[in-house]
């Protein structure tokens, strides 16, 4: 293990573990913050004006400049109308629907979202699917939350 190698001074960490930079996405971010290196990354951050037409509190994936004490969003501005209307807005509204259902503990909103899905053939099918999902042992927390 890594701890064993660290504690045993006779083991060369350079031989035991790769000296190549990690491919984990979080590593450059940590390096930038810890070592105060300005770095351009693509991160999920609250919009805060980066993309016009999307509320500031909605999390978006945008280019940012990261350093020890800051994350500066690159201003994207206005996206093409077709992209906003057909892709971004529907996803944003779906997120808002899910958030509203969660905050209000609103099982009916979950049911309506399933019923609206183009793969759903009937309201009865939507009800059955939701009940089946909620009845699974691993969904105990879901059952308790959405009463």
Which pLDDT band holds residue 57 (cuts at 50, 70, 90)? Answer: very high
Residue from 42, 32, 47, 80 nearest 62 by CA: 42
pLDDT digits 0-9 by tens, 102-144: 999 999 999 999 999 999 999 999 999 999 999 999 999 999 9
pTM of the model: 0.69
> How far apart (Å, rounded) are the C-alpha atoms in residues 125 and 102?
22
Domain ranges (residues) in the chain: 2-73, 81-145
């Amino acid at each position: 293990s890594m701890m064993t190698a660290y504690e045993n001074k006779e083991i060369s960490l350079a031989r035991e573990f790769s000296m190549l930079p990690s491919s984990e996405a979080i590593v450059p971010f940590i390096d930038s913050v810890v070592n105060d290196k300005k770095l351009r990354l693509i991160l999920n951050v609250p919009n805060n004006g980066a993309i016009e037409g999307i509320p500031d509190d909605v999390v978006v994936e945008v280019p940012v400049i990261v350093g020890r004490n800051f994350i500066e969003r690159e201003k994207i501005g206005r996206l093409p109308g077709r992209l906003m209307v057909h892709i971004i807005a529907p996803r944003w509204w779906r997120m808002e629907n899910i958030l509203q259902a969660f905050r209000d503990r609103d099982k009916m909103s979950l049911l309506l979202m399933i019923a609206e899905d183009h793969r759903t053939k009937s309201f009865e099918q939507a009800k059955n699917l939701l009940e089946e999902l909620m009845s699974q042992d691993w969904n105990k927390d879901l059952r308790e939350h959405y009463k």
